[in-house]
Amino acid sequence: DAEITQSPRHKITETGRQVTLACHQTWNHNNMFWYRQDLGHGLRLIHYSYGVQDTNKGEVSDGYSVSRSNTEDLPLTLESAASSQTSVYFCASSAGGLSGELFFGEGSRLTVL
């Protein structure tokens, strides 16, 4: 079965360190997204990609970067982790076109001390 997997599921890091969260999908979807989920804020879009070599900033992109070198992967990098980036991060993918359904991973819980 096709799926979307995130790793690590849990990570604790220190302020100032670089962190990369991995996202891998086997749906063969063109569209991939990164969201962060915080209590009271729902899901906020960080970065997204519509295909290989395409990346775009979302509403809360400061301090984050992504790269898309193949269809399956969209890693999210925190260049210099800050305590404000403590959150649960979700990767999602969609087929695009008329189908707007997002398929989510199980999330990565990041704690920045």
Binding site for another protein (CB under 8 A): 31, 33, 35, 40-45, 48, 50, 58, 90, 92, 94, 96, 100-102, 104-107
Q: Is 83 helix (H, G, I), strand (E, B) or coil?
A: helix
Check: CB of residue 23 under 8 Å from CB of residue 76. yes
User: What number of CA atoms fall less than 13 Å from residue 3's CA on the CB side?
Assistant: 5
What's the rounded Cα separation, in Å, for the pair 106 and 62? Answer: 23
Minimum distance from residue 92 beta carbon to another protein (Å): 8
Give 14 or 41: the residue with its C-beta nearer to another protein. Answer: 41
CA neighbor of 26 nearest in space, from 46, 55, 6, 11: 6
Give 70 or 100: the residue with its C-beta nearer to another protein. Answer: 100
Minimum distance from residue 106 beta carbon to another protein (Å): 5
Minimum distance from residue 14 beta carbon to another protein (Å): 25
